Structure 1
Amino acid sequence: MQRFAFKMKLRPGCEAEYKKRHDEIWPELAQLLKKAGISDYAIFLDEETNTLFAVQKQSGASSQDLGSTAIVQKWWAYMADIMDTNPDGSPVSVPLKEVFYLE
């Protein structure tokens, strides 16, 4: 399993709504992520900058590689009002380089 980390940007004042939407993640989206080999997926919020930091383990594609699926397209549209997005509707996502890991 490979670890993959990235950051995204949450719009100010949307912290509670972001958490609510993820607390109620659609079962079909969670199933797709797991089927794609994504596990141990966590998202953290830096409240000072509204930066979201995500980390996941993957044995295949990253969650960021599933954008061609209908459910991910629907999720992106659902989240677009509270996050910075690209012209295709995907969240603006910046991969992060791992510089330290303690097992």
Structure 2
Amino acid sequence: MNRYCFCLQVKPDRLDEYVERHRDVWPDMRAALHEAGWHNYSLFLRDDGLLIGYVEAEDLEAAQKAMAATEVNARWQAEMQQFFAGSDGRPPDESFLLLREIFHLTPPAED
């Protein structure tokens, strides 16, 4: 399983509503993410709106394409787009900046 980290910028005046929307993510959206291969998915939000996402997937591009083919993702992205700065009209799941992993702590080898 590969690890991916990405960032986006939430509009500072929309932070509370963005957080509220993620308190109750639609069950069909959760199911679609799982079925599309998104695992161990987390979002972290800084007070200035910097959003960091972490997800594990065999192939992120394939997982994104699988989500793009779902009706629930189209609805979710349309609703979430209003919260982001600098997306140039693209849905959030197509406009995030993927970060390069430079360190990962692995368990020590057993003797």
Runs of 4+ in 1 over 6 A off after TM superposition: none
* Greater C-alpha radius of gyration: 2
Q: How many residues align?
A: 101
Retained in 2: the 8 A contact 1:46–1:52?
yes
Distance in structure 2 (CA, Å) of the matches to 1:11 and 1:25: 19
Instruction: Look up the match of 2:54.
Output: 55
Instruction: Look up the match of 2:101.
Output: 98
Retained in 1: the 8 A contact 2:32–2:70?
no
Distance in structure 1 (CA, Å) of the matches to 2:53 and 2:64: 11
- Cα distance, 1:82 vs structure 2: 1.4
- Cα distance, 1:47 vs structure 2: 1.7
The letter for the 2-side match of 1:99 is: I
Q: CA RMSD in A?
A: 1.8
Q: Unaligned regions of 5+ residues in structure 2, if any?
A: 107-111
Distance in structure 2 (CA, Å) of the matches to 1:61 and 1:74: 20
Instruction: Look up the match of 1:24.
Output: 24
Distance in structure 2 (CA, Å) of the matches to 1:58 and 1:100: 18
Secondary structure of the residue aligned to 1:47 is coil
- Report which of the two has the higher share of helix: 2
**Normalised by the size of structure 1, how large is the TM-score?**
0.85
Secondary structure of the residue aligned to 1:99 is coil
Instruction: Look up the match of 2:68.
Output: 67
Q: Unaligned regions of 5+ residues in structure 1, if any?
A: none
* Residues 36, 64 of structure 1: alpha-carbon distance in 2 compared, 3 angstrom cutoff: closer
Q: Deviations over 1:3-30 (max 9, x none)?
A: 1111111001211111111111010110
